[in-house]
Amino acid sequence: MPWEAWLTAAVIAAVLSTLLLTSAAPDMVFLAAVTALLVAGVLEPGEAFAGLANPGVLTVAALYVVVAGVRETGGVQWLSGRLLGRPRSLLDAQRRLTLPVAAFSAFLNNTPVVAMLIPAVGDWARKFGLPESKLLLPLSYAAMLGGSCTLIGTSTNLVVNGALEERTGAGLMLFELAWVGVPVLIAGLAFLYATSRWLLPDRRPATETLEDPREYTAEMIVEPGGPLVGQSIERAGLRRLPGCYLMEIDRNGEILPAVSPRERLRGGDRLVFVGVVDSVVELQRIRGLTPATEQVFKLDGARSDRRLVEAVVSETCPVANRTVRDGRFRTRFGAVVLAVARNGERVDGKIGDIVLRPGDTLLLEAGEGFAERQRNSRDFLLVRSIEGAAAPRHERAWLALAILAGMLGAVGLGWLSMLEGALAAGAGLLATRCLTVNAARQAVDWSVILTIAAAFGLGSAMEQTGLAATVAGGLLQLAGEHPWANLAAVYAVTALFTALVTNNAAAVLMVPIAASVAGDLGVSVTPFAVAIMLAASASFATPMGYQTNLMVYGPGGYRFTDYLRAGLPLNLVTAGVALAIIPWAWGF
């Protein structure tokens, strides 16, 4: 091999070692690797950063905007309630999640399915006290397994099928892959259900492991005629709120303490909650609940255009030692007090009647400029905006979901490409004010985008230097002249390349190699093409093996080793089933 190939191999080994042995950010590791190859002259700038212009990468970025639009209107909560329901256990939750995801992914591109459900699964898990890390990897894995059941399930299947048609003049039928895809799906999900208790980590993002000493007292009113009227506390999802509990209900002056989960809500009920700031923020998102203070509706502008802010009252604040009402808080500051935290104590009384003391922490609803205006003011010791805490545009939820459904339908019917559909949906959400421009900018997870784009650069280096062909040729020579052994070798090499680079890049590299092997053996190339489809679409052992794996990396709080522990055995199970069925369904 030339020196460029050896250098590429060393850089890839360094990437894998760093990800395996340290907690370094994946995007920085991949960018450092691509930069090293660029500086060394192995890659040209256009090759190193071609991933930033790749339709798949751009599609993922556009889908973040689409998902943000659905989340900002409360559509995510509707989806999680309707689709996922109320699990009886963690295993039941995994079944409720993975079965519909696998079914959807067989007919829709699995990337938008995962992008749409990541925030929904997060909300669902927090609502029922389930660890997200036990659900988000199964979400990605189920989408990958479902995508292997039909020709349109993944873009990789279409790429390989196109190459097969060019070489043989005939490709696979739409559901022909189901002969092997469905058994692989069943075996993969069964393995997940049986082993997830031990193989999947109970890992939470660092922010969730810290206790918040500030406990707010917040009051919410059940909207008369709203969706919560007539529902029990349990059914409305108000019983198991993470970091928050319903202390009492004020019903027309009658106090109901120690509320039973079977108590049915009535319009106008005043609910008193005690909890940390993140939980109180989530209360503002629940459809059918509104802040108890009427002052919220006297502020200028729509609620969805405002922000939630935390502020600590100073001794020189003009409202200190006065009630919220007497201090004319809204008129003076252009903001409304939603909740008060006082050194862990419960603050009794209606919001307007609370006497504010120096040191009290207030949760405020205010216009966008409030935090900047008050940041250096002597009225407050500290002012902090809470990111992503705008009140949902519930009245536009149906519109956001309709745009999402239109995108999936247009892409599924072949009217638009996935990139075109995602961009059109994002534009539609902005045009209909389901999403603001600032929220759209903040929605894109650039760490994921940069990691995927840099992975394309490494794949290009492997191909340009001949490293990929050299490794593949060497491994295939070990298989001898037996067709099944060569089929297994093609599957293994494709899975290896997919784990190191990306699924589409691995498939493109392997098609000509597999065709050459089939020609030398004098057998049909179709079984080899199917093996490439399965191996490239079912790479579970690394985050960069499939873009949905990368998408759940951060939200699940995962480490590189988590993918190896859960994904490597799953790779072996699915490979065994696939290699047993492919020669039977498509003879050599």
Burial class of residue 89 in the structure, from the number of CB atoms within 10 Å of its CB (0-12 exposed, 13-18 middle, 19+ buried): exposed
60 pLDDT exceeds 90? no
R_g (Cα) of the chain, nearest Å: 27
Confidence of residue 81 (pLDDT cuts 50, 70, 90): low
Contact 135, 203 (CB under 8 A): no
CB 284 within 8 A of CB 338: yes
Amino acid identity for residue 569 in this structure: P
Q: Residue 140 has what pLDDT?
A: 92
Per-residue pLDDT of 410-444, as tens digits, reads 876 778 876 788 899 989 999 988 888 877 887 78
Residues 6+ away with beta carbon under 8 Å from 169: none
Residue 194 pLDDT greater than 50, yes or no: yes
Length of the chain: 588
The residue with greater pLDDT, 372 or 185, is 185
Contacts (Cβ under 8 Å, ≥6 apart) of 94: 134, 135, 138, 192, 193, 196
CB 556 within 8 A of CB 202: no
Given a cut of 60, is residue 213 above it in pLDDT?
Answer: no
As a whole number, mean pLDDT of residues 542-570 equals 84
Longest dimension (CA), the chain: 91
Q: Give the chain's mean pLDDT.
A: 80
Q: By percentage, how much of the chain surpasses pLDDT 70?
A: 86
Alpha-carbon gap, residue 56 to 266, rounded angstroms: 49
More reliable by pLDDT, 448 or 234: 234
Better-predicted residue by pLDDT, 351 or 310: 310
Complete DSSP assignment for 260-271? -TTPBP-TT-EE
Structure confidence at residue 137 as a pLDDT band (50, 70, 90): very high
Residues 400-416: what's their mean pLDDT? Answer: 81
Is the pLDDT higher at 419 or at 300?
A: 419
User: Quick check: 211 pLDDT over 50?
Assistant: no
- Rounded-to-10 torsion of CA 107, 109, 113, 115: 180
Report the predicted TM-score, pTM, of the whole model to 2 decimal places.
0.63
* Beta-sheet pairing, 216-222 with 335-341: antiparallel
Q: What is the pLDDT, as a whole number, of residue 367?
A: 76
pLDDT reported for residue 344: 63
Q: Which residue would you say has higher pLDDT here, 349 or 73?
A: 73
In sequence order, which ranges of 465-559 are alpha helices (DSSP H)? Answer: 467-477, 483-500, 503-521, 526-537, 547-553
Q: Structural domains in the chain?
A: 3-203+447-585 (no CATH), 216-385 (3.30.70.1450)
Per-residue pLDDT reduced to its tens digit, 233-284: 887 878 767 677 788 888 888 888 778 888 899 988 888 888 777 777 777 7
CA distance 208 to 125: 13
Distance (Å) of CA 339 to CA 266, 360, 430, 527: 22, 10, 31, 64
Q: Please, which pLDDT band fits residue 22 given cuts at 50, 70 and 90?
A: confident
φ, ψ at 271 (rounded to 5°)? -100, 130
> Which of 79, 82, 93 is closest to 128 using CA atoms?
93
Distance, CA of 342 to CA of 355 (rounded, Å): 11
Tokens of 302: 């729509």
Question: Which secondary structure element, helix H or strand E, spans residue 573, and what is its range?
Answer: helix 560-585
Parallel, antiparallel or unpaired: strands 380-385 and 307-313: antiparallel
Question: pLDDT: is 305 or 330 the higher one?
Answer: 330
Interatomic CA distance for residues 182 and 339, integer angstroms: 52
User: If we measure between CA atoms, which residue out of 159, 56, 182 comes closest to residue 111?
Assistant: 56
572 pLDDT tier (thresholds 50, 70, 90):
very high
- Give mean pLDDT, residues 178-190: 93
The single-letter DSSP state of residue 148 is: T
Nearest CA to 150 out of 112, 122, 180, 128 is that of 180
If pLDDT is split at 50, 70 and 90, which confidence band does 208 have?
A: very low
What local confidence, expressed as pLDDT, does residue 276 receive? 76
In tens, the pLDDT along 320-348 reads: 999 888 888 888 888 888 888 887 666 77
Q: What values do phi and psi take at 232, rounded to 5?
A: -75, 160
C-alpha 215/C-alpha 210 separation (Å) is 14
Tokens standing for residue 52: 């930033």
Residue 209's pLDDT is 39
Give the residue from 182, 93, 78, 173 showing the smallest Cα distance to 129: 93
